[in-house]
Structures are given as C-alpha cells and as structure tokens.
Homo-oligomer: A and B are copies of this chain.
C-alpha cells in the first residue's frame, strides 16, 4: 500500500504494484458493514485482531467457495455468493449443535468484480448473519485473479460435552434427518438447463433454485437435536457420502431407507425431465445442508424430523433404493 501524499515515492511492493485504486476504500466500506462489538465480542474489525471473551466451549470451522468450483458467477448473483459462503460455514456449527457466534470473511476480488459487487456479496452474508444472530467480526479483502470467499465461523456452547461430533453413534441408534433432500441438486439442474421441465410451476422452480443458491443452515434444528443426539453431521457432500463420514467417525454402519427420505417438492418433476432418479438426487445430490443425527433407540423424532434409518454394527453407509438397488458409500473416512 502506498503512503498517499508521500513526497518521496515509496519502493515497489507486490501489494502496491498491483493495487487497484480504491482497494482500501473498499475495505473501509466493507468494514462499515461489519458488526459493532456486542456480547462476547469486545472489539470488531479495524485493528490487528478482533477481541472476544468466550464463555464455555467454542466450535470453529472454515469453509471456502471458489468461482467455477462451488458456484458459477454466470448464474449466481453476488449476494447469493456471500449468502452461501456464510450459510455453508454456519451449517458446520449447526451440525455440532453450537450457537452461532462470530464470522470472519476473507474475499478474493477479481478485476471484473467492482465495489458494488463486493458490497452486494457482503450484503448477502450480512443478511444471513443478521437472521442467524452471527456477528461479522472481521475480515480481509485481497485482489485475486478469481473470485473466492473463505469464511471462518466460531460457535459457542456452555461446555464442550454439549457439542455433538460425528463420533458417538452406536448400533441400535435411530437416524433422523431435518427437512427435505434433493432440492439443491434439482435447483442446480434447473440452473444448468433453465428450459428443462415444461410442467414445473414457477414458484416451485424458484424454490429449488434458491435451495441451490441460498441454502439455509439448520441452526435451530441442530440445537434441538443436540439435546439427545449421539452423533451429527450436515449434508453437504450428499446423504450417502456424509452418512459414510459419520459411520467412519463412529465406527459403525449406517443403513438408510431411501423410501423414507423426504424429497423436496418439484424434485420428481425435474428428475423426470432430466432422465434422473429423484431418490438419487435426494440420496447423493448434496448441498442441501440438512442435518443427519443418530439418536438413542426409542427417541421420539420431534416434529420436522424424519426417521430415515438405523445404526448397525459394521462399517460404511448404505442407502437402500427401491427395487433392490442401493447407493453404497465406502467404509473409510472420505474426510470431507
């Protein structure tokens, strides 16, 4: 960064050489949008570090989205990118049963994303932060040849024993799922081929696209499940894959009945138009950001949750499809 107003030209530096005019103004404008300190957060953005005084246990997770890998700018408005980046990170906290605390957002800004685009992107994250009670406590902006967003989230609980990991499921446990599956995968198909299903209502199609572009972290559901769950994971890689992660961490086998899976409205129509099996979209589509939890046998599945299978001895995860087929995930940890 150049010392503006300097009477002697400062030496060249990587940063200074390539810095577009206004980069620091942008950072200033972004920081204006960050949360003022409150609660456990004593000092937010603008100093060398944010300061907080956490009570109890913290859960910390990092998540990153890259253009062309996790989203495509051609069909993703900047606000949706910011939304999804924070929502995906918060989904990991939901899967621990943690209450959302602070988020730190790092933005790699390409030459063709202007200041308004950056502010829109942050606005999307801001909306998720506001609606989930997350404080945007800090961040950084850097130039980059490609757009990427990296988010670190910190969640809180009274004690570490109240946080739910992937390990802890035992044979005989029930598997319960929040919400519905397949929507994000169907939404992606609609974004890739907008003309696809002739017989899909606009409102339903819109809901499916939003499911892909603006997923919602199941924080309240995670807090509720954490009261009794022995293990929990969020469905980001797809039910079969994430079930395998939980199975590996717990040293058990997960058996899921695809017929029991709650499939989002419109998924069947999109699947038919695309020549796909709706249960495949539900069982392996990913990015639905629902929660899968193992509860002790005999637990009542509360409203809004669906019993989808059981935990057995063994390893791996299997989603049994109708007609004797199955979607099997391997027994080793794929370490999402």
The reply to whether B188 and A13 form a contact with Cβ atoms under 8 Å apart is: yes
Interface flag for A216 (CB, 8 Å): no
The reply to whether A11 and B284 form a contact with Cβ atoms under 8 Å apart is: yes
Within 8 A of B (CB), among A1-40: 1-16, 18, 24, 27-28, 31
Q: Complex formed: what's the CA distance from A9 to B59 in Å?
A: 35
Q: Mark interface residues in A156-194 (1 if CB within 8 Å of B CB, else 0).
A: 000110010111000000000000000001001100000
Q: Complex formed: what's the CA distance from A62 to B71 in Å?
A: 23
Q: Which segment of A114-122, A200-208, A231-239, A301-309 sits at the interface?
A: A231-239
Question: With A1-B237, A330-B5 in contact, do A335 and B46 touch (Cβ < 8 Å)?
Answer: yes
Chain A, interface SS category:
mixed
Residues of the B chain whose Cβ atoms lie less than 8 Å from the Cβ of A280? 8-11
Q: Complex formed: what's the CA distance from A336 to B15 in Å?
A: 11
Residues of the B chain whose Cβ atoms lie less than 8 Å from the Cβ of A24? 334-336
Q: Interface residue count for A (Cβ, 8 Å)?
A: 108
> Shortest beta-carbon distance, A36 to chain B, in Å?
15
The reply to whether B51 and A160 form a contact with Cβ atoms under 8 Å apart is: yes
Residues of the B chain whose Cβ atoms lie less than 8 Å from the Cβ of A198? none
> Shortest beta-carbon distance, A304 to chain B, in Å?
20
Interface flag for A197 (CB, 8 Å): no
Interface flag for A87 (CB, 8 Å): no
The reply to whether B6 and A138 form a contact with Cβ atoms under 8 Å apart is: no
Residues of the B chain whose Cβ atoms lie less than 8 Å from the Cβ of A273? none
Q: Complex formed: what's the CA distance from A285 to B3 in Å?
A: 10
Return the contact of A244 from the options B3, B14, B15, B65 (Cβ within 8 A).
B3
Extra contacts, 8 of them, besides A8-B325, A48-B92, A64-B150 (Cβ < 8 A), are A3-B284, A14-B70, A14-B72, A15-B70, A51-B96, A54-B58, A60-B154, A62-B138
What are some 8 contacts across the A-B interface (CB < 8 A)? A3-B244, A3-B327, A4-B329, A7-B325, A47-B249, A48-B92, A51-B160, A53-B159
Residues of A at the B interface (CB closer than 8 Å) are 1-16, 18, 24, 27-28, 31, 42-43, 46-54, 56-66, 68-72, 92-93, 95-96, 98, 102, 104, 106, 108, 137-140, 142-146, 148, 150, 152, 154-155, 159-160, 163, 165-167, 185, 188-189, 232-234, 237-238, 240-241, 244, 249, 276-277, 280-281, 284-287, 321, 325-330, 333-336
